[in-house]
Structure 1
């Protein structure tokens, strides 16, 4: 009976962490079907500028990620979540009542700044409870669970548009975030004991940042995760223009988007099993090599065909790519923070912040290069996979040197 209670507790913990971490996915993916309507309503002149509604969330996150870790190390994980979700709600309200595009972007940046707490503090709470392969397994299960949100979010957004406008989507996100906060408040215990909390001083924060950045193993995994996640942001930024508009999917866009999200979920579930048998670093290298090869073959196919691929071929390529992505996200984050468990809060802040800044830049470049074809996105996948392989091999080499010492 005791083990059963523990299993139920771990199951609820996984669901709750997945729900909190999915706030970002929800506030991005639910808006995707409404981008054209939102751009028209707020008088956006350049269609590519509507991508800022998505990338501005990640931009806000990049700065929020830096502060919530130290706050959670000093004042506890729960208090940090309360602060972050409250800021997220304020940003959502600003976006909900936006009267022009500038006000919308401000609200989205604030949303990202607040949602950063859910990401970095959730990772710290997971690190408080698990480590090593078990942490990788739990991270995979959490990724698999919160994949349900991006899989369903565009359909939810499309459904809301049938009865309302884009503002109603922000109203739904508001209710979702408040409900999540209530569940967290009543069901989740504090994971950081009082005797393990660090003083909130600039010296302590600076030392934590310095230790994180000077750890060569962690640094290379951090850079690799930022690069490969950047290519994924490139997909998020261009998916609505590529699939809904260029391939004329219309309201079916949500269905196709959900299928690709489920490919991520299937991969994450597979990873939760594989990570208990194989080393995380080897799984990452295998996934990146698969992404590199599949992108090369798809590019050859596009150039030989000398015409745009059919929607079937594009979906096949993206599904394969997303399966490889699912083997990367949880493992790379776990590998980056693994050497720094004693300063998990600060380490997660630094790692996540730099990772996000890198990914926003790379994703922005891919989005800017969008030319009504899948070529810029495919080239982005190829280049980012290649760079990430180099960085992981460097991290692997540094890890062996540290072990030898």
Structure 2
């Protein structure tokens, strides 16, 4: 039996009857997708507002407006390292509800920030609160499913989750047409409160007391060590970091590229949505194919296509070709590739670590988010009025992701490795 389809060996419930009692499968997928999408909403709804926020706080250098995104991502990345072990010890619900409450409080702080420093601090805290939702969301899935079925569930979640990046910039743009940028944070506050109430009323605890880990420094460090020394988990975690680096590069530069270079103005969210649709469609396609073809075949091929589209964009950029439609098509190709990469890489990184799903999710989230945000910010600061920095990001980070996959699989592609090796 392949590693993709291996039975659960960690004592968790697996995919048997009522893996999340009291909640139907569809509702489970939607609520987990909404929890993960809360992070995307906090990022993408801000994009149309960056120029107005820059004016409000006298940000002269346009690249410095990216701090509003990066401050959030730093809090989101760092905090994940701590929420995982705590959720493994105390259960998922308490940590999730606490994180949603903190996210909502920070949204109020953003709403009433009167200086840039206050806004950045509130955004950092907002990211800390949302980190709990990311860690717990992935842990909920790993508590309940394994193998290719986990890959399928993650793909369905990603498909629903990707609806938010599609519509979030448009929501932000519509808000700006009738109100100022402060109301964007009111929207984030509302989203946090709705999810808090939904999870408080409906979401069951998926980690029973007998499977919880002790909250001791030695045990936590041992769990961290298991994540970082498992070849498959480490390799796919690094691969996701590189791939996320390209994604975050696009997010940090997208407003400047589409508004400053291609002069789209208020049409920017429409084009952003059209590119995000490619990722959502790919995630849906992955959910239909992954049980039959396997996570490795789909994601390894997608890593190659991700790198190819980025390299083609770079070649054209270096030749001075800066055509709008060519750029959009190549970005859509990269994002479609990511739709096959994201859910499968995450599932494969988590697969060997079911007994410490919370800690594993936190370490993987910490490395991929903070690492990806750092890589994206580095390229975002190189923005020079052309698409070359983004094309370079896709190319270099695609190659880095491909090399990390080779490391994870001992140099072999498209086939599952014996997890004992």
How many Å apart are 1:301 and its aligned residue?
2.7
Matches of 1:131 and 1:91 in 2, distance apart?
35
Is 1:328 matched up with 2:360?
A: no
Q: Which runs of 4+ in 1 moved over 6 A?
A: 5-8, 398-401
Is 1:341 matched up with 2:340?
A: no
Partner of residue 292, structure 1: 307
Partner of residue 195, structure 2: 180
Q: Is the 8 A contact 1:281 1:392 kept in 2?
A: no
How many Å apart are 1:401 and its aligned residue?
7.5
How many Å apart are 1:241 and its aligned residue?
0.7
Mapping for residues 49-88 of structure 1, pairs under 5 Å: 49-88=64-103
Match of 1:191 among 206, 212, 217: 206
Partner of residue 243, structure 1: 258
Match of 1:19 among 34, 52, 59: 34
Partner of residue 10, structure 1: 25
Matches of 1:404 and 1:148 in 2, distance apart?
38
Q: Is the 8 A contact 1:43 1:100 kept in 2?
A: no
Say if 1:8 and 1:61 are closer, same or farther in 2 by CA, change over 3 A: closer
**Number of residue pairs the alignment of both structures matches:** 401
Partner of residue 105, structure 2: 90
Q: Is the 8 A contact 2:246 2:376 kept in 1?
A: yes
Q: Is the 8 A contact 2:21 2:204 kept in 1?
A: no
Mapping for residues 124-143 of structure 1, pairs under 5 Å: 124-143=139-158
How many Å apart are 1:198 and its aligned residue?
1.4
Matches of 2:81 and 2:88 in 1, distance apart?
12
Q: Secondary structure at the match of 1:397?
A: coil
Q: Is the 8 A contact 1:217 1:398 kept in 2?
A: no
Q: Secondary structure at the match of 2:89?
A: helix
Match of 1:273 among 261, 283, 288: 288
**Greater per-residue helix proportion:** 1
How many Å apart are 1:363 and its aligned residue?
0.5
How many Å apart are 1:25 and its aligned residue?
0.7
Q: How large is the RMSD of aligned CA atoms in angstroms? A: 1.9
Match of 2:374 among 361, 367, 372: 361
Match of 1:168 among 162, 179, 183: 183
How many Å apart are 1:296 and its aligned residue?
2.3
Say if 1:404 and 1:155 are closer, same or farther in 2 by CA, change over 3 A: closer
Deviations 1:145-176 (A, max 9, x none): 01111111111111111111000110011011
Matches of 2:229 and 2:21 in 1, distance apart?
38
Is 1:392 matched up with 2:405?
A: yes
Matches of 2:22 and 2:183 in 1, distance apart?
38
- What TM-score do you get using the length of structure 1 for normalisation? 0.95
Mapping for residues 103-122 of structure 1, pairs under 5 Å: 103-122=118-137
Q: Secondary structure at the match of 1:356?
A: helix
How many Å apart are 1:214 and its aligned residue?
1.4
Match of 1:310 among 323, 331, 336: 323
Match of 1:221 among 236, 239, 244: 236
Partner of residue 385, structure 2: 372
Which stretches in structure 1 are left out of the alignment for 5+ residues?
none
Match of 1:149 among 141, 160, 164: 164
Matches of 1:330 and 1:401 in 2, distance apart?
19
Partner of residue 11, structure 2: none
How many Å apart are 1:387 and its aligned residue?
1.1
Deviations 1:306-349 (A, max 9, x none): 24x22111111111111001111111111111111111011111
Partner of residue 225, structure 2: 210
How many Å apart are 1:126 and its aligned residue?
0.4
